[in-house]
Amino acid sequence: MIELDIEQDCVRQDGSHTRNLLRVLRGLNMFRVLYEEIIKSDGNSVRDAAEVAYEKVFAPHHSWGVRRAVESGKDTLPTKSQLLKSLNEDEGSAKVEMQSFVRIIGPVIQYVEELFNSMQLGIDW
């Protein structure tokens, strides 16, 4: 798929499979960092965890306007207890699921990043 985009010289074009794969990669990485932050926090703040995850994963690729919009919307995020209730999870079961996701998705993220880098595409675009 990536090789075809390279052949067609459309890797960075809107809608290319490669660009979409990079966006999926960032989404998975966002959840990985979010879950890591939630797991390690003692507090009840999903907002703080989401802010850290956003700053690490998406903010470097967003314009000033998008970053401001995200900043203004963070107050609408649920508390940890609200999130767990909406997911029909308790603290213990959610932690197990989040840890499982983090453990499983790490190698997937690493593989796709290495794939991009092996083709000299990088992931910072």
The pLDDT tens digits for 45-96 are 888 999 999 999 999 999 999 999 999 998 899 888 898 899 899 989 999 9
Tell me the domains of the chain and their CATH numbers. 2-118 (1.10.3520.10)
90: left (phi over 0), alpha (psi -120 to 50) or beta: beta
pLDDT surpassing 80 at residue 42 = no
Across 22-29, average pLDDT: 98
43 pLDDT above the threshold of 70: no
| pTM of the complete model | 0.89
**Assigned token pair, 13:** 């074009």
pLDDT band of 124, cuts 50, 70, 90: very high
Selected residue with higher pLDDT from 87 and 103: 103
- Long-range Cβ contact pairs of 33-36 (< 8 A, separation 24 or more): 33/57, 35/98, 35/99, 35/101, 35/102, 36/102
> What pLDDT is recorded for position 81?
87
Note whether 106 and 31 are within 8 A (CB): no
Spatial neighbors of 39 by CB under 8 A, at least 6 apart, are 95, 98, 99, 102
pLDDT at 44 exceeding the cut of 70: no
Structure tokens at 38: 């939630």
Confidence of residue 108 (pLDDT cuts 50, 70, 90): very high
